[in-house]
Amino acid sequence: MRALNRVASALLGIVLIVVGLLAAAEAVAAYRDQRPLLLPLRQWYDRLIATTFADRGVLLISIGVGVLGLLVLVSQLRRWQPRELDLRSEENMRWQLRRHSLQQQVAASVSTVPGVREPQVEVAGRQSAWSVRVRAAGRPDQLNDVRSAARSALTRLDVPDTVGLQVDLTTPKRVS
């Protein structure tokens, strides 16, 4: 979403430049009684004064614009997963770790436990206050081994022990 926002903003910037310069150029052309440079302004004008709000097209376009606005609003206001997670900071130094990297490192560590498969690591919370949840397929008696593997990965990533860690194991299906 952040990348999409950035691309959309860059496109908006380009649109503003083109439309702004074109509007200024058309205004100059109109002042000099020249024909419009690019835009069929006369046709637009004639059409807009002939179209009333009662027109069905106006209603449909209004609904379309409103729905588009709602989609934009929802996409911006819903909660985004943090891309970076805050680590312990020092005086003037702020440390952050990429969430994907943390998930990958913890999952890789958990998968080294013999018999434990398909580890899935999720991060819950905000960028500044977060916790880790590990789910994997394994026997219930491996819970401590998985927890210890996950914690050792977190410790290597300099994540303090105060950061929550929840481990859930599901019993692997037996192949008959």
* Residue ranges binding other proteins (CB under 8 A): 2, 5-6, 8-10, 12-28, 30-31, 45, 48-55, 58-59, 61-73, 75-77, 84, 87, 90, 92-98, 100-101, 104-105, 108, 156-158
Q: Which is nearer to other proteins, 103 or 142 (CB)?
A: 103
Quick count: other Cβ atoms within 10 Å of Cβ 68? 10
Q: How far is the CB of 166 from other proteins (least distance, A)?
A: 22
Q: Which is nearer to other proteins, 63 or 139 (CB)?
A: 63
Q: How far is the CB of 78 from other proteins (least distance, A)?
A: 11
d(CA 28, CA 139) in angstroms, rounded, equals 78
Are 119 and 151 contacting, i.e. CB atoms less than 8 angstroms apart?
no
Q: Which is nearer to other proteins, 62 or 170 (CB)?
A: 62
Are 95 and 86 contacting, i.e. CB atoms less than 8 angstroms apart?
yes
Q: Which is nearer to other proteins, 44 or 164 (CB)?
A: 44
Cα–Cα nearest to 163, from 135, 112, 123:
123
Q: Which residue has the tokens 């004008």?
A: 45
Handedness of CA 138, 140, 142, 146 (dihedral sign): positive
Q: How far is the CB of 33 from other proteins (least distance, A)?
A: 10
Q: How far is the CB of 124 from other proteins (least distance, A)?
A: 20
Helix axes 143-156 and 99-110, enclosed angle (nearest 10): 140
Q: Which is nearer to other proteins, 24 or 139 (CB)?
A: 24
Q: How far is the CB of 44 from other proteins (least distance, A)?
A: 9
